[in-house]
Structure 1
Amino acid sequence: MAQEHVRALAAALSDSFADRLLTSPAALAQYAGSESHHGERAPDLVVRPQSVEQVQQIVRAAADHGVPVVPWGAGTSLEGNAAAVAGGLCLDLSAMDRVLEVSADDLLCVVEPGVTREQLNAELRATGLFFPVDPGADATLGGMIATRASGTNAVRYGTMRENVLALKVVLADGTLIRTGSRARKSSAGYDLTHLFAGSEGTLGIIVEATLRLHGLPEAVLAGTWPFETLDGAIQTVIATIQSGIPVARMELLDPAAIRACNRYAQLDLPERPTLFIELHGSPAGVQEQLAMIQAIGAELGGGELARAAETEARARLWKARHQALPAARAMVPGAVTWVTDVCVPISRLAEAIAQAQSAIAEKGLLAPILGHVGDGNFHVFFVLHPDDERAWAAAHEVNDAMIEHALSVGGTCTGEHGIGIGKREALVREHGSEAVLLMRRIKDELDPNGLLNPMKLFGDSLPRAR
């Protein structure tokens, strides 16, 4: 990035943004990394807007000076989605954190992009409603929309794709557009809402979102359920889904993941393949679901299902599950983690996980497996020393084999992490060059100078010279 352009942009923004314009190396370093393994690159400057109008002002100024703009939420992305790989301006949207409206009658809310999922649910607590998409990290909703995130509740409540009704988006030239509506369905024109959902900030900056809400269930029952074999646990998941049992969450942790969680969260779970489940409904309905699931699991090597019905016990259980990433990292002093995911049709889940486990063992890697297996999505946490070149090369081979197998059975290279910079080549393998070329044509039409989150999705999409 030409530094004279950056200096000119900083000067243009200094009067309006004062202490919300960050240029010191120490401040910029806070935006250099994320939860990904792709290395660090600090932006050239950071601006923290507080309104839609300020976002428009910043984007227009960046366009005038030919400086790339990279949206930033909470820094929890896993494929370098918010990395400033071409330098430029980091647009930190975390200060736009207001819940603008809650319409209980319409089961929806309107939020700014910096609202986090935990913040939203805290504000909804008195309404009897909740927002169900739970990727584990307390990510911002704008970032969750941009990466089309999902998580533990997706098997019942869907992903961000199903829970976004409408958006306000600032385009590359500063124009503000509205997509979608408050209605539950529409056949009016192209579906622009879901074009921007999952676009990772490469087509526009999400500045407001209208989201679906759901009623809090009358009764909730959670539990952990060890199995004799990994295959038995997975077959229980498959049979449960195929039977139409409306399970809310169904997570799988392999023995390595359980071992990590036990150490980190001071649990004493059996170190066996384990399902974490949660059921929602009426008290009678929850008990009926439980009986049906236990009948399935009993035939497949399920042990004793340890129940957690009280709110505090359930929270402790899911906190341990959500801490699986730092728990894995803590298993080896000085290690880093590389988290990858694939998603396959539910009928092919057992073979996909078995192949991944076999490859991990063959390469001698430490790599716990866990996943939102109720919808065919699973994750591998490679735990690696930064300077262990052999292990990194082996992890790349395992990751590539996982992607190849997922695509061969009609799955996808990523269920919820997005493409970012980590899976750009896999995007072409999944969709083919012609489809990716069409994506690039859409990108070029909406962002002709290539200034919005460059180098993401398409590896050579550098900003155009001015």
Structure 2
Amino acid sequence: MSVQSISTGVASTIEEIQSLIGDRLSTALAVREHHGKDLSHHPLQAPDAVAFAESTEEVAAIVRICARNKTPIIAYGTGTSLEGHITAVQGGICVDVSNMNEILRVGQEDMDVTLQPGVTRKQLNEHLRDMGLFFPVDPGADASLGGMTATRASGTNAVRYGTMRENVLSMTVVMADGKIVRTARRSRKSSAGYDLTRLMVGSEGTLGIITEVTLRLYGIPEAISAAVCTFENLEGAVDTVIQTIQIGIPIARIELLDDVQMDAINKYSGLDYPAKSTLFLEFHGSDHSVKEQAEMVQDLASENGGGDFQFATSTEDRSKLWQARHDAAHSCNALRPGCVLWATDVCVPISRLAECIHETKKDLATASMPAPLVGHVGDGNFHLCFIIDPDKPEEMAEAQTLNGRLIDRALDMDGTCTGEHGVGLGKIAYMEREHGEGISVMRAIKKTLDPDNIMNPGKIISMN
């Protein structure tokens, strides 16, 4: 689609920022287009200009200019979000923090790290490897850690290590008026005042721009073993997951992929797994505890119709297995080349997981398009990826209906409209039903911290 021309009234903002950072402000069409579209199905909406910031102080100066002129501001990391978080629905200035990519300090004794928001998860773990430490949160994309914080991201390790909510200790944020705020100290706990860190984790750039993050780190386990287990039916795989969690096996990863998703992975990655419901699993601990965990889950799987475990113990084999899992979204193109992908997710209490997946698969059985199912099911979170023919608008309409039914189903089960993708544009319509009067509290927070609604407007909640 065509990109809108530069918005009326933004010219003076652009001129002021250009005088501040020179040629690191771009109004080139290609640059604006690149920063107006993420990995989602939401259409391109470009900003009026892109400012490539290099420090907290520079971000603050840019924000102060935008605040004075009431110009919208959208933060940008790697552009890998899945609900239109970075689209410039009202134009404005995109602040790209990808050049702010330094790891500022590693506290080996405290097992924490402070870094700039443009550092990616893979970059961080490469830096930490020789120290015997790692950061576990791993969404499919090599996302920026600032973006992961802003969307409250999760990943395959969440069942053992938690999400970004549990792993962010503190951050530095530039607020809507240009003030620079540190949300907390590095101590592992505090009861001193409101929890500003948790307020900012998941705020999607609507309250401020994150310019530094302090994260919790973990020791690389003594032993790691991964396995794949195939099931004759989806119910057996889901029951194995639920039982594993309920009896307290400290599994590090337990991922569900349905038959459609396994077919896609085989075609995309050149693998030969059976095209059946499958669990990808990983165990962390000592040699003895890893062996014990694997045996316990193998027994549960066998009782539920699962086959023998195919183990991957070498680093190379494990990397190949988990790369195939992380490629799940990309692999959907192999089922239907040239189509549009619409990824959505929900999360429900683990006791309702089997019912929710069963009802969802019944819906998909009569759908005119494939929609592979994959999930971090150890914490009740799963995804669908609708593979839509762009020449058939009726398929987009059908996907909208199916997505709405999925979300309503999750909410009926006391779940959420999104477990980890975030709200962005795509889930705003469901926020009032999920939160009730809590929405009025969210609006009050937004109006207080961003009275002119310049911070990523049009995301998370409607201000009307």
Length-normalised TM-score, structure 2: 0.98
- 2:298–2:308: 8 Å Cα contact kept in structure 1? no
Deviation at 1:365, TM superposition (A): 2.4
Is structure 2 residue 138 aligned with structure 1 residue 134? yes
- 2:457 aligns to what? 454
- 1:421 aligns to what? 425
1:360 to 356, 361, 364: 364
Note the alpha carbon deviations across 1:313-359, whole angstroms, 9 max, x for none.
Answer: 10011111111111102321210100000000111111111111110
**Could you tell which deviates more after superposition, 444-453 or 15-24?**
15-24
Is structure 2 residue 39 aligned with structure 1 residue 16? no
SS in 2 for 1:380: strand
1:245 to 240, 243, 249: 249
Is structure 2 residue 441 aligned with structure 1 residue 438? yes
Is structure 2 residue 282 aligned with structure 1 residue 301? no
- 1:190 aligns to what? 194
AA of the residue aligned to 2:228? T
1:327 to 326, 331, 353: 331
Is structure 2 residue 238 aligned with structure 1 residue 234? yes
SS in 2 for 1:47: strand
Question: For 1:9 and 1:337, how far apart are their aligned partners in 2?
Answer: 36
Question: For 2:380 and 2:184, how far apart are their aligned partners in 1?
Answer: 29
Deviation at 1:297, TM superposition (A): 0.7
- 2:261 aligns to what? 257
Note the alpha carbon deviations across 1:72-105, whole angstroms, 9 max, x for none.
Answer: 1111111111111111000101110000000010
Note the alpha carbon deviations across 1:146-168, whole angstroms, 9 max, x for none.
Answer: 11001100000000000011111
Deviation at 1:5, TM superposition (A): 2.6
Is structure 2 residue 281 aligned with structure 1 residue 274? no
1:371 to 368, 375, 383: 375
Is structure 2 residue 126 aligned with structure 1 residue 122? yes
Deviation at 1:59, TM superposition (A): 0.3
Percentage of pairs with the same residue: 52
Note the alpha carbon deviations across 1:205-257, whole angstroms, 9 max, x for none.
Answer: 11111100000001100111100110000000000001100000000000000
- 1:345–1:411: 8 Å Cα contact kept in structure 2? yes
Is structure 2 residue 98 aligned with structure 1 residue 91? no
Question: For 2:242 and 2:148, how far apart are their aligned partners in 1?
Answer: 27
SS in 2 for 1:330: helix
- 1:69 aligns to what? 73
SS in 1 for 2:183: strand
Deviation at 1:4, TM superposition (A): 4.5
- 1:30 aligns to what? 34
SS in 1 for 2:245: helix
Question: For 1:184 and 1:412, how far apart are their aligned partners in 2?
Answer: 28
AA of the residue aligned to 1:73? G
Deviation at 1:394, TM superposition (A): 1.4
Across the aligned residues of Structure 1 and Structure 2, the Cα RMSD in angstroms comes to: 1.1
Question: For 1:137 and 1:420, how far apart are their aligned partners in 2?
Answer: 17
Question: For 1:423 and 1:27, how far apart are their aligned partners in 2?
Answer: 27
Report the number of matched residues: 460
| Pairs within 5 Å for 1:331-342 | 331-342=335-346
Question: For 2:334 and 2:33, how far apart are their aligned partners in 1?
Answer: 24
2:113 to 94, 109, 115: 109
AA of the residue aligned to 1:162? E
Question: For 2:90 and 2:462, how far apart are their aligned partners in 1?
Answer: 11
- 1:464 aligns to what? none
- 1:70–1:88: 8 Å Cα contact kept in structure 2? yes
- 1:206 aligns to what? 210
Is structure 2 residue 11 aligned with structure 1 residue 45? no
Question: For 1:371 and 1:440, how far apart are their aligned partners in 2?
Answer: 31
Deviation at 1:3, TM superposition (A): 3.3
SS in 2 for 1:411: coil
SS in 1 for 2:17: helix
SS in 1 for 2:394: helix
- 2:166 aligns to what? 162
AA of the residue aligned to 1:264? Y
- 1:234–1:350: 8 Å Cα contact kept in structure 2? yes
Deviation at 1:425, TM superposition (A): 1.1
